[in-house]
Amino acid sequence: MIKTKTTSPVGKSVPRIDAREKAAGEAKFVFDMKLPGMLIGKMLRSPHAHARIISIDTSKAEKLPGVKAVITAEDTPKIKFGSNEYFFPYTVDQLPLESDKARYIGDEIAAVAAVDEETAEKALSLIDVKYEVLPAVFDPVSAMKPGAPQIQGAMNNIGVMLPMQFGDADKALKESDYVREDIFHLQSAAHCALEPHVSLGQYEVSTDRITLWTSTQAPFKVREAMAKTLKMDAADIRVIKLNVGGGFGGKLEMFPMDFSACLLSKKSGGFPVKFTCTRQEEFSFTRRKHPMTYKLRSGVKRDGTLMAVTGEVIADGGAYCSYGPTVIAAAILRIFMVYKIVNFRVIGFRVYTNNPICGAIRGFGGVQSGFAVESHMDMLARGIGMDPVEFRLKNATDPNMETVNKLVISSNGLKDCIRRAAEACGWKDKFGKAKSAGDMARGIGIGVAADVMGSKMYKAHESAGSIIKVEEDGSVYLFTGAADTGQGSDTAMAQIAAQELGVAYERIRIKAADTEITPFDTGSFASRVTFISGNATKNAANDAKQQILNIVARELKLDAGALDMRDEQVVKAADGAFVMSFDQAVGLCYSFNYGHLIIGRGNYNPKTTPVDFRTGYGNISGSYGFEAQVAEVEVNKKTGDVKILKMYDVHDIGYPINPDSVHGQIEGSIVMGIGYTLYEDLRFSEGRVVNPSFSKYRIPRSVGIPPIESIFVETKDPQGPFGAKGMGEASLLPTAAAIANAIHDAIGVRITDLPITPQKVLEALKEKKAV
């Protein structure tokens, strides 16, 4: 019996479907798992940034009491894996365990499984690896020079080169009334998920099958990579995602620890093997944000018309490619979602170095480009004496348009977002009117952004599937491959299923992200789950609903098309007249006369066209989300400290499935953006991370977070489930620029490299006085 009945749940802030479980401490993470006979896995990593592997002797480690298995590359099929294999097959460059040479400090060389952690650590110390140390290169510009140490064999260490050109940029620049060039420097950063990477693999001797429990955002992608590198059928590998304590893009790939847990289990005779990253390993050896140098040269007319954008992006990718192609492409192409640009020429380089690997992180290159582009746009507007809000309104994209590079934009609330953000913060009364009191100065700044609802860069399709099963007692089970990593997607899927099926939210039970049980889903990334997986769930619920209505119509000799299900009832679609309760309808389906099991199936593949990376043409997403963000800051001119007084975020979210969750996602993104802008900086010395702990790596804390006002613009996207769009990343993209623009408004200095530290502010003020 359902105690609470929340009908028509879409648009309501219902409690999260896993809230009680988590509040009671009953939620299970892979970190919590302990299986009978479980062994502890540990990874031997290279101490050198670049070295040829001469030999590996594991004999002493294998003889150590308590050690059950040791593996090196010689125990593997030596098959490389990568994350952008479909569109960039040449970027598949990493082995689960390296065999010829190490390319960064931390490269995986061997792995052990032992009865406890102490024994495993001792075993690692007994493995004798002989290296020939090679020259290393840590700066991407130096790495591209002739004669630089070659890391992967790519010409001039350029792993990916993306030249994008549309129109005649040179002609447009000559016709411009004002042209300026700026250079921006963006630092590396860590994901800082509270749950570290954890993998638990078990080989079944009797079936020759493998089960992997792992903290992942993309279980089906992990299964695919595991099948390839282990030379096994995908059907013989089961990947299970339990609760995940944050991912932010850092858990989108198969990692060598996933592979090693399973192979060690097999070699040990079927004992389960568990790997858990330490916090130092998280910071040093998993994935990180791409540091970039972003050069822009653009021209405008006196009336604010954006004539041309040109530039160059150089990204330090580290030792392997990972999601590098996607990141560099997104860093260049996002601008077309936001601004009407006809003349464009930007080339991007993703460069191999002997630094740790860069990969996906929330925003996929959009955070770096957001700071550069939105700072640059403010500087262009100021250069012609134009209000930055009016400049953006002049050049912003519109609804129902096709961009020069063939993005198809349907719903678009960007201009409404800009206007409402300016109204909410009192822009006209504050911009350009910096208030000073002694050493303190206040200013205001704006940034805008757009984001995709998925991206067809992983496979030939971007499909997701869902199954709805309605039992005899009226309980409803949703099976989805979508991976909830803490953002609340399970709740959104349950709301969508309940709304479409016409039942109470509390009826829904969910099973997600188990490759053996749930339908395929590409994973939780690129703000795709609500839009793509949500549509699949809506379609499955509709299929189940039609099956029920068909039985009711047959029984009552009615037209099934004239019936609907709403608020736990079968009703007449025209006037909502009651026909029978949902429970009665389900009972009828399972009755003697019909015996019909209700199993609804749904899938969804958005209407997109793959990007041709030789030309830049293509429609990467089925829809696009938009937003404007304003920062109000106070700067201490004596100390250089920056205090954020308030953040305003106005977001085109289509329609909010769960308003509280949407507000939470927006606020979380903004806080991450504040961290990247003011604090976060993953630093290196000769390829080694020098601040691999929360005591040395600064992130925002709950105390000191400024007030955040988030406002929705509802555009009811025609492609989205109930008009909804994804929105997990867009709010992070303009934050750094909004803050930097506000600092300039306050004290008249422009900071072009992140993070914005007190020292940089003071140095900029000193230079201003010297001019």
The answer, yes or no, to whether residue 480 has pLDDT greater than 70, is yes
Identify which of 432, 503, 255 has the alpha carbon closest to the alpha carbon of residue 360: 255
DSSP H or E segment with residue 672: helix 659-678
CA 527 to chain centre: 7
Give the pLDDT score at 771: 67
DSSP H or E segment with residue 201: strand 198-204
Give the pLDDT score at 619: 94
Take residue 361 and report the two structure tokens written for it: 């992180």
CA torsion angle 213 219 222 223 (round to 10): 80
Q: Which residues of 467-489 are buried (b: 16+ CB within 10 A; e: fewer)?
A: bbbbeeebebbbbbbbbbbbbbb
Give the C-alpha separation, 333 to 87, whole Å: 16
| Section 497-514 average pLDDT | 98
Take residue 215 and report the two structure tokens written for it: 């903290």
Instruction: Output DSSP code: residue 157.
Output: G
Give the C-alpha separation, 324 to 312, whole Å: 16
The answer, yes or no, to whether residue 2 has pLDDT greater than 90, is no
The answer, yes or no, to whether residue 13 has pLDDT greater than 90, is yes
CATH match for 292-456+610-770 among 3.30.365.10, 1.20.120.530, 3.40.50.300, 3.30.70.260: 3.30.365.10
Q: Calculate helix-pair angle for 366-383, 735-747, nearest 10 degrees.
A: 30
| Section 66-94 average pLDDT | 95
Identify which of 421, 356, 299, 363 has the alpha carbon closest to the alpha carbon of residue 686: 356
The answer, yes or no, to whether residue 426 has pLDDT greater than 90, is yes
Distances (CA, A) of 37 to 152, 190, 271, 273: 40, 34, 6, 9
The answer, yes or no, to whether residue 459 has pLDDT greater than 90, is no
Give the C-alpha separation, 431 to 761, whole Å: 20
Cis before 755? omega within 30: yes
Q: Residue 17 is which amino acid?
A: I
| Section 199-221 average pLDDT | 97
The answer, yes or no, to whether residue 86 has pLDDT greater than 90, is no
E strands along 405-536, which residues? 408-409, 435-437, 440-452, 464-470, 476-480, 508-512
Phi, psi of 261 (to 5 degrees): -60, -40
Identify which of 605, 622, 619, 648 has the alpha carbon closest to the alpha carbon of residue 724: 622
Architecture field, domain 33-134+194-246+251-285: Alpha-Beta Complex (3.90)
Per-residue model confidence as pLDDT tens digits over 748-771: 999 999 999 999 999 999 998 886
| Section 8-15 average pLDDT | 98
Distances (CA, A) of 491 to 140, 242, 252, 425, 497: 43, 15, 21, 32, 10
182: β partners: 296
Looking at the chain, the domain(s) classified CATH 3.90.1170.50 span: 33-134+194-246+251-285
The answer, yes or no, to whether residue 683 has pLDDT greater than 80, is yes
The answer, yes or no, to whether residue 553 has pLDDT greater than 70, is yes
Identify which of 287, 330, 574, 553 has the alpha carbon closest to the alpha carbon of residue 455: 330
Residue range 19-28+463-604, CATH number? 3.30.365.10
237-240, strands of its sheet edge to edge: 67-72, 108-114, 39-45, 273-276, 198-204, 209-214, 237-240
pLDDT band at 461 (very low <50, low <70, confident <90, very high): confident
Tally of residues, the chain: 771
Query: Residue 204: helix, strand or coil by DSSP?
Result: strand
Specify the pairing of strand 306-318 against strand 343-352.
Answer: parallel
Looking at the chain, the domain(s) classified CATH 3.30.365.10 span: 19-28+463-604, 292-456+610-770
299: β partners: 179, 308
Per-residue model confidence as pLDDT tens digits over 248-274: 999 999 999 999 999 999 999 999 999
Mind giving me the DSSP string for 271-286?
Answer: --EEEE--HHHHHHHS
pLDDT band at 436 (very low <50, low <70, confident <90, very high): confident
Give the pLDDT score at 458: 66
Give the pLDDT score at 455: 79
Choice among 82-91, 291-300, 421-430, 728-737 with the minimum mean pLDDT: 82-91
Give the C-alpha separation, 517 to 19, whole Å: 23
Give the pLDDT score at 1: 58
Which residue, chain included where needed, has tokens 């493998």?
A: 210
The answer, yes or no, to whether residue 237 has pLDDT greater than 70, is yes
Who's near 423: CB < 8 A, 6+ residues apart? none
Q: How many CB atoms lie within 10 A of CB 676?
A: 28
Per-residue model confidence as pLDDT tens digits over 708-745: 999 999 999 999 999 999 988 999 999 999 999 999 99
Give the C-alpha separation, 749 to 762, whole Å: 10
Give the pLDDT score at 150: 98
Who's near 32: CB < 8 A, 6+ residues apart? none
Query: Residue 270: helix, strand or coil by DSSP?
Result: coil
Percent of the chain whose pLDDT exceeds 90:
95
| Section 27-37 average pLDDT | 98
pLDDT band at 694 (very low <50, low <70, confident <90, very high): very high
Q: 670-673, long-range: CB within 8 Å, 24+ apart, which pairs?
A: 670/629, 670/708, 670/731, 670/732, 670/735, 671/700, 671/705, 672/248, 672/362, 672/732, 672/735, 673/367, 673/731, 673/732, 673/733, 673/734, 673/735, 673/736
Q: Whole-prediction pTM value?
A: 0.97
| Section 584-610 average pLDDT | 96
* Residue-averaged pLDDT of the chain: 96
| Section 329-340 average pLDDT | 96
